[in-house]
């Protein structure tokens, strides 16, 4: 059984935010008005956070792409009163939009704050509406949404592999962010499969995980040179 | 008609013009709040000031606050009954009524807070038992049933009396008196049932506010993830409950002329309980904040300083004044433990305890462990404030209306106190003491 995970090489990340944009268009993430974004209501399943260190002029900038950590021990699924957020056999943490009651308990329980709430119903301009991804359901107002590691792509890849009578290959299932990253800083695959790059990279001496001490067992690894 | 009946039942048959004026104003506020809620449902929770990471706000604060107040009646009245505190007789009914009404107003808050209230029943159909929110639904449900029963059963003899006097809507009272005729055997069963109920409601009441504390404590959030939260919430609930009883008693005394029943001694005794709880409150709060401060984990300290010296310093120190300084100063002295003094202390505690709920929910919410790209902040909108006003108004309105149908002081318990307890208590006290050779109190030959 696969255990899907991601390795993000921060030494390679240029902060271009292509992953953010690719994610938004792949997953039909509704844009919000500037005043709403100002209030902290912008949605970005993948978010490149910027850390600025030091005082001017000796400053350095670090970029930190942050998807859902797809924890093996996710705090969000325990607190959901209706089992609208769940972890599947392959370690993907998903959200059932038609069941979610919008209590936002999972959003509070997530230490990485990766859960987004639809404060209003989604709105698109006509041109955007025509380009919505038919493989991803559009969320109504009042429910939580989050990064899914593009699990709709896994379904499709698996069907293709079955139709062609072969095993699923590493390149068959890649989330939009990993696919689009120009410096290949985002690597995705099966952490249990020794042939996948993530399985090797996660053991890199530069590898860390976010807030490992909480015991959430994130499946997103970060590579960063220690200074 | 006895003097007790005449005074206590008067509000049931006479209604002043002022009552209608106040009721109309309150009803308009409730209507206003309902319009606000309609807009929120129609357009989405975006109409509130909530955001990411401030996912919970006014509604959850009010939820915790109202369920806390509900500990007024049941718990205090049950504890006083079980401990045979005779001074309870005049105050239990008005306290229990607060309980039943505030549970209702508290329980609707999380539903108002839902993004999809249309799916609220998913909590039953897709119940996920590991969620503290589900524990809460179960324990509040049980609590509501227990408290309603605990209000209703001891009311039976009074309802039967109103039915027999025929002073008001006979069919209603015939139905609710349920054939009770106050025969000795019925009375014996009634007393037994009340005895059992007052034992049962205590653990249920404790569980309710413990579980509400656990909703926060079960997450890994700074200054929520704390084992003290269960007991801290129960203590705070009882504290705000006592304050609510005091305020209600003061107002009832004034509007319905119940000075005969709510005597200075009742205010004095409840004031002493308030004093005890103001010290307990300080103890719990100090223990909580010292533990956080001493451990000095960075994420916890961000929330800590936000409360103590940061943007939440005003609500924090107002809370300390309302929950500790004011009630302690007023209730420690006999001269200010008067009805008026307890009213001031009670109001201070209610404001302080509301702010405590605010200080638990908001500062932690805006300071997530993982610092975000935007600074967390929260400013409630008029929608939230209107719904909050409507909740308070709705509670007062229903309480007022209830006083028109329910004797707010238990007539039969007052009579029982006069006829039986005075003798029983002196016998009981004698029973506590070592037997002396000559006295023969307590029926001994």
The DSSP line for A92-140 is -EEE-TTT-----HHHHH-TT---EE-SS-----HHHHHT--TTSPPP-
| Half-sphere exposure at residue A114, Cβ-oriented, CA atoms within 13 angstroms | 26
**Alpha-carbon distances of B435 from A204, B432, B445, rounded to whole Å:** 84, 9, 13
* Residues of chain A with C-beta less than 8 angstroms from the C-beta of B113: 103-104
The residues spanned by each domain of chain B are 3-416
Arithmetic mean of pLDDT over chain A? 94
- pLDDT exceeds 70 at position B175: yes
CB-nearest to B128 from A81, A117, A144 is A81
**Average confidence (pLDDT) over B122-150:** 94
d(CA A102, CA B114): 5
pLDDT of residue B439: 55
* Residues of chain A with C-beta less than 8 angstroms from the C-beta of B114: 101-103, 142
- pLDDT exceeds 90 at position A137: yes
State whether A82 and B54 contact (CB < 8 Å).
no
* Residues of chain A with C-beta less than 8 angstroms from the C-beta of B56: 104, 108
Q: Which helix (H) or strand (E) segment is A144 a member of? A: strand A144-145
How many Å lie between the alpha carbon of A79 and the closest alpha carbon of chain B?
Answer: 4
- Domains present along chain A, CATH in parentheses: 4-223 (3.30.70.20)
Torsion of Cα atoms, A146 then A147 then A153 then A155, to 10°? -60
Confidence class of residue B441 from pLDDT cuts 50, 70 and 90?
low
State whether B114 and A103 contact (CB < 8 Å).
yes
d(CA B106, CA B118): 19
Interface test with B, best of A34, A36, A45, A102 (most B CBs within 10 A): A102
- pLDDT exceeds 90 at position B227: yes
Question: Right CATH number for B3-416 from 1.10.357.10, 1.10.275.10, 3.30.70.260, 1.20.1630.10?
Answer: 1.20.1630.10
Closest chain A residue to B134 measured between Cα atoms? A81
State whether B374 and A40 contact (CB < 8 Å).
yes
- pLDDT exceeds 90 at position B239: yes
pLDDT of residue B399: 95
> pTM score, two decimals?
0.93
pLDDT of residue A100: 96
Q: Which backbone phi and psi does B221 adopt, to 5 degrees?
A: -75, 145
- pLDDT exceeds 50 at position B223: yes
Under DSSP, is residue A227 helix (H, G, I), strand (E, B) or coil?
coil
List of residues 6+ apart from A105 with CB closer than 8 A:
A79, A80, A81, B131, B133, B215
- pLDDT exceeds 80 at position B363: yes
d(CA B67, CA B214): 14
- pLDDT exceeds 50 at position B445: no
**Average confidence (pLDDT) over A171-199:** 96
pLDDT of residue B387: 97
Q: Which helix (H) or strand (E) segment is A222 a member of? A: strand A220-223
- Cα B420 off chain centre by: 30
């Amino acid at each position: 059984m696969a255990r899907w995970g991601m390795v993000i090489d921060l030494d390679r990340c240029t902060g271009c935010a292509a992953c953010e944009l690719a994610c938004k268009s792949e997953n039909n993430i509704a844009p919000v008005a500037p005043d709403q974004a100002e209030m902290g209501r912008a949605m970005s399943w993948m978010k490149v956070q910027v850390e600025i260190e030091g005082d001017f002029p000796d400053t350095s900038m670090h970029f930190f792409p942050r998807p859902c950590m797809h924890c093996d021990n996710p705090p969000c699924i325990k607190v959901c009163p209706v089992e609208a957020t769940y972890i599947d056999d392959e370690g993907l943490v998903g959200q059932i939009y038609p069941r979610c009651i919008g209590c936002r308990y999972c959003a509070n329980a997530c230490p990485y704050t990766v859960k987004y709430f639809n404060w209003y119903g989604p709105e698109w301009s006509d041109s955007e509406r025509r380009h919505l991804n038919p493989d991803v359901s559009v969320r109504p107002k009042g429910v939580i949404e989050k990064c899914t590691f593009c699990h709709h792509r896994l379904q499709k890849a698996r069907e293709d592999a079955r139709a062609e009578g072969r095993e699923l290959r590493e390149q068959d299932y890649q989330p939009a962010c990993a696919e689009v990253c120009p410096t290949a800083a985002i690597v995705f695959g099966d952490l249990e499969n020794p042939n996948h790059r993530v399985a090797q990279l996660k053991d890199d001496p530069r590898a860390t995980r976010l807030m490992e001490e909480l015991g959430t067992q994130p499946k997103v690894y970060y590579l960063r040179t220690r200074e | 008609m006895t003097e007790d009946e005449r005074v206590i039942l008067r509000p049931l048959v006479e209604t002043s013009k002022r009552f209608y004026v106040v009721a109309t104003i309150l009803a308009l506020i409730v209507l206003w709040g309902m319009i606000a809620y309609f807009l929120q449902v129609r357009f989405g929770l975006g109409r509130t000031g909530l955001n990411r990471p401030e996912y919970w706000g006014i509604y959850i604060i009010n939820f915790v606050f109202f369920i806390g107040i509900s500990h007024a009646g049941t718990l205090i009245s049950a504890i006083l009954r079980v401990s045979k505190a005779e001074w309870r007789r005049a105050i239990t009914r008005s306290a229990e009524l607060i309980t039943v009404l505030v549970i209702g107003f508290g329980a609707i808050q999380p539903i108002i807070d839902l993004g999809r209230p249309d799916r609220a029943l998913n909590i039953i159909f897709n119940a996920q038992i590991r969620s503290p929110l589900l524990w809460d639904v179960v324990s509040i449900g049980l609590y509501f049933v227990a408290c309603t029963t605990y209000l209703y059963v001891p009311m039976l003899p009074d309802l039967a009396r109103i039915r027999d006097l025929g002073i008001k809507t006979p069919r209603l009272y015939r139905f609710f008196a349920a054939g009770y005729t106050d025969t000795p055997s019925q009375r014996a069963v009634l007393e037994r049932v009340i005895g059992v109920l007052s034992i049962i409601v205590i653990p249920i009441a404790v569980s309710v506010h413990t579980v509400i504390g656990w909703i926060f404590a079960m997450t890994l959030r700074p200054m929520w993830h704390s084992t003290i939260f269960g007991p801290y919430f129960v203590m705070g609930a009882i504290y705000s409950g006592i304050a609510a009883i005091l305020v209600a008693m003061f107002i009832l005394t004034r509007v319905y002329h119940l000075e005969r029943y709510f005597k200075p001694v009742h205010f004095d005794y409840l004031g002493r309980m308030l004093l005890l709880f103001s010290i307990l409150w300080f103890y719990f709060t100090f223990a909580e904040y010292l533990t956080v401060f001493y451990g000095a984990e960075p994420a916890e300290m961000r929330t800590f300083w936000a409360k103590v010296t940061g943007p939440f310093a005003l609500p924090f120190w107002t809370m300390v004044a309302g929950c500790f300084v004011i009630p302690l100063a007023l209730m420690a002295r006999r001269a200010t433990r008067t009805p008026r003094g307890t009213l001031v202390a009670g109001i201070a505690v209610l404001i302080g305890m509301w702010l405590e709920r605010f200080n638990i929910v908001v500062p932690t919410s805006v300071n997530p462990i993982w610092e975000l790209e935007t600074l967390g902040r929260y400013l409630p909108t008029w929608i939230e404030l209107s719904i909050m006003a409507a909740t308070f108004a709705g509670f007062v309105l229903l309480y007022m209306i209830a006083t028109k149908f329910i004797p707010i002081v238990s007539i039969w318990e007052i009579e029982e106190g006069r006829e039986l307890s005075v003798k029983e208590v002196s016998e009981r006290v004698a029973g506590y003491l070592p037997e002396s050779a000559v006295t023969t109190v307590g029926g001994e030959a």
